Structure 1
Amino acid sequence: MAVKDRGGTHLETGAQVITGQLGKTIQRLRKAYNLSLSDLAEQSGVAKSIISQIERNETNPTLATVWRLSQALDMSVERVLASSDDAPFVEKLTRADTPILLSEDGLVRLSIIGWIKTVEWLQYYDLYAEPKGELDSDGHQRGSIECLTVLSGALEVEVGGVIETVREGETVRYRCDRRHVIRNRSDTQAHAFMVCLLKAAVLE
């Protein structure tokens, strides 16, 4: 039996992928989407135990398994397999290859434009918020800092009961190791650039 990649390539289910970097790549992609092992298992149809073994490089998955994981992570098989320490320094992502996150209400869209290899400590996003859109986020690890620069429109940021309005050309920095909410209360779309430092020093 064969599985077809979205690029048209047929992948034999018996073929195995042997690479020491695959597990790290899958783990980084999973964390970039804030998915647990259970979440990825549910979305891909690959057993949680198998995903865990792949991430720890304890097993060589079939190409079909990698295909299922890549589809769940919205990446092509070629791109997942190409992610290694030997990859060229110059890397280009097309619009189709750029992962997208949506808020629960579907009105805030974040394009993940940060480098996947830094996702555990540095994340950055291109953010578009439609009118009345709201991005409600749980806290990240202790000491994390988020920086939001508004490129057009205006956004409201709420952290720990403190509310700050950020307008075009302005930047706000705040602790994001607690619940934080970004809202667009205006009647026009807002565009912003957001950086999250996950291992910043804890503020006194």
Structure 2
Amino acid sequence: MKDLNKAISKNLKKIRKKKDLSLDALSNLTGVSKSMLGQIERGEVNPTISTILKISNGLKVSFTSLLKNEKPEIDQIPFEELNPVFEGEGHKLYPVIPFEDDKRFETYIVEIKPGHKYYSEGHVKGTEEIITVFEGELLISIGEIDYFLKKNDTIRFNANKSHVYENRGLKLTKLNLILHYE
């Protein structure tokens, strides 16, 4: 709860200053007392959801913009700390960078065991898929056409059609998958 109060405190202060508002002006816009707003900005109180809603409505910002934690300037992501979101019989999908509205992409590390196929239905229209193989080899079938990728090869395609990933090699295939949304 401390971290959430800290995030609300930082975000409120940042948004208020960006909009060049005094605490008095913010109080008039939101219906929340000046003293309560000051306590929230200093992280001294745990504001209720209705208070946060009043503030977000008064500032004309999303509710979540007051709750989100600021992204670090540098974010190191050790592979050992990733947990697969999908673990099939012969493959694992590790989310590295999740989708964010302002970024419009997400990245994964995918591992496919030898002899395994993974079927993917087409994605939302306008989705582009970019794959780079780091270890092993990959046969990807898009529609009726097969593409063979070896270590360090990349393929980029419109991913609204179904496609199949296949490891026909003798060792694990490891690849980076980027989904970019229109």
Q: Structure 1 residue 101 and structure 2 residue 85: aligned?
A: yes
Q: Structure 1 residue 148 and structure 2 residue 155: aligned?
A: no
Residue 122 of structure 1 corresponds to 105
Q: 1:84 to 1:131 in 2, by over 3 A?
A: same
- Highest CA radius of gyration, 1 or 2? 2
Q: Structure 1 residue 163 and structure 2 residue 146: aligned?
A: yes
Q: 1:93 to 1:154 in 2, by over 3 A?
A: closer
Shift of residue 196, structure 1, vs aligned partner? 1.1
Counterpart code for 1:122 = F
Counterpart code for 2:84 = I
TM-score scaled by structure 2? Answer: 0.56
Counterpart code for 1:174 = F
Q: Structure 1 residue 186 and structure 2 residue 172: aligned?
A: no
Q: Structure 1 residue 195 and structure 2 residue 141: aligned?
A: no
Return 5+ residue gaps in structure 2 as ranges: 9-47, 50-66
Structure whose residues are more often helix by fraction? 2
Question: 1:8-38, CA deviations, whole angstroms, 9 ceiling, x for partnerless residues?
Answer: xxxxxxxxx99x99xxxxxxxxxxxxxxxxx
Aligned residues: 124
Shift of residue 90, structure 1, vs aligned partner? 3.5
Residue 131 of structure 1 corresponds to 114
CA-atom RMSD, angstroms?
A: 3.0
Query: Secondary structure of 2:85's partner?
Result: strand
Counterpart code for 1:100 = P
Q: Distance in 2 between matches of 1:170 and 1:129?
A: 16
Q: 1:89 to 1:192 in 2, by over 3 A?
A: same
* Percent identity for Structure 1 against Structure 2: 17
Q: Is the 8 A contact 1:107 1:129 kept in 2?
A: yes
Return 5+ residue gaps in structure 1 as ranges: 1-16, 22-58, 61-82, 200-204
Q: Distance in 2 between matches of 1:93 and 1:151?
A: 17
Q: Distance in 2 between matches of 1:99 and 1:119?
A: 24
Q: Distance in 2 between matches of 1:142 and 1:88?
A: 32
TM-score scaled by structure 1? Answer: 0.51
Q: Is the 8 A contact 2:99 2:105 kept in 1?
A: no
Counterpart code for 2:167 = N
Q: Distance in 2 between matches of 1:171 and 1:87?
A: 29
